[in-house]
Amino acid sequence: MWSFLRRRTLTQWIVVAMVAGVAIGVMFPAFAVSLLPISTAFIRIIKSIIVPLIFGTLVVGIAGHGDDMKRVGRLALKSIVYFEIVTTLALFIGLLTVNVMKPGWVPPSRLPQPAPRRWPVSPSRSPASSNTSCRRVSSTRRRATKCCRSCFGRSSLRSA
């Protein structure tokens, strides 16, 4: 059994982990949400490894060419061209995937219904004890009218 597990390549383990992640997310969504701290830590670890890995690769690649600056220059040019082509290709693949799959889109029929809208209530007053929907402003004087107890005397409704 152990020899079977040790013969698997890193790529195979990554595919197995992705399939397991999708299966857990589909079959046990509440448990999958509780694994958020683990996934966040994993992504942060990967982000912290990328920069030193790229730097080390570049240093070893340049040092491996020795004193031949002409070869180093050609390698740098090839690297920049390769980087630009692969980055552009990845951008197009990402944009195509997002436009075709539309991740995060939910049909309007499956959206939760919004709660009824209520005017903001001051913390000291309960909605039953004050008329909070009354916000009339006199058109001639541009000042709050004495229509109710909740809007009389509010400085935010008055204008000079």
Is 94 strand, coil or helix? Answer: helix
Residue pLDDT, tens place only, 112-136? 777 776 766 555 554 444 444 555 5
Handedness of CA 113, 114, 116, 121 (dihedral sign): positive
Residue pLDDT, tens place only, 56-82? 988 887 787 777 778 778 878 888 899
Position 116 scores a pLDDT of: 74
Contact 151, 144 (CB under 8 A): yes
